[in-house]
Amino acid sequence: MRPIRGEEVAAGLAVAAALALGGCLASGAGVPPVSAELLARVEPAGLDAAALQRGRDLYVGKCARCHTALPIDAYGAEAWPGILARMGPLTPLDGPEQQDLAAYVYAARALLAE
């Protein structure tokens, strides 16, 4: 992981502030609730709804400490592994939390892409 510099944090906060002011996140767009449709897109299958809900709670809770809960479909499926690898340690998340969060993010990304 590369170190996070102060100016990058400032830039991120400015982006988050601009997004929040734009109001595009007020409705929770791009952060779908846990549903049968979402569960059907969990890979590998078998994770239960409670784990997915924990993942969503982390996304809208701990992950929205420095910036808002950014719309998951604003970033490509190929970008998310790198984002989670960078943001996880910043949050920070323990192992099970990382798994639940990743399962939620990837299932949501797949659902929103349809």
Pick between residue 1 and residue 36 the one whose CB is nearest to ligand HEC.
Answer: 1
Taken in order 103, 38, 54, 24, is the CA torsion positive or negative?
A: positive
Residue 70 within binding range of ligand HEC, rule CB under 6 A: yes
Q: Which two tokens stand for residue 95?
A: 């192992």
The least distance separating ligand HEC from the CB of residue 24, rounded to whole angstroms, comes to 14
Please say whether the beta carbons of 39 and 107 come within 8 A: yes
Q: What are phi and psi of 90, to 5 degrees?
A: -70, -25
Q: Which stretch binds ligand HEC (CB under 6 A): 22-30, 39-47, 49-57, 88-96?
A: 88-96
For residues 76 and 49, give the distance between their C-alpha atoms in angstroms, rounded to a whole number: 24
Residues 8, 37, 43, 48: which binds ligand HEC (CB under 6 A)?
8
- Contacts with ligand HEC by CB under 6 A lie at 8-9, 12, 62-63, 65-67, 70, 75, 83, 86-88, 90-91, 93, 101
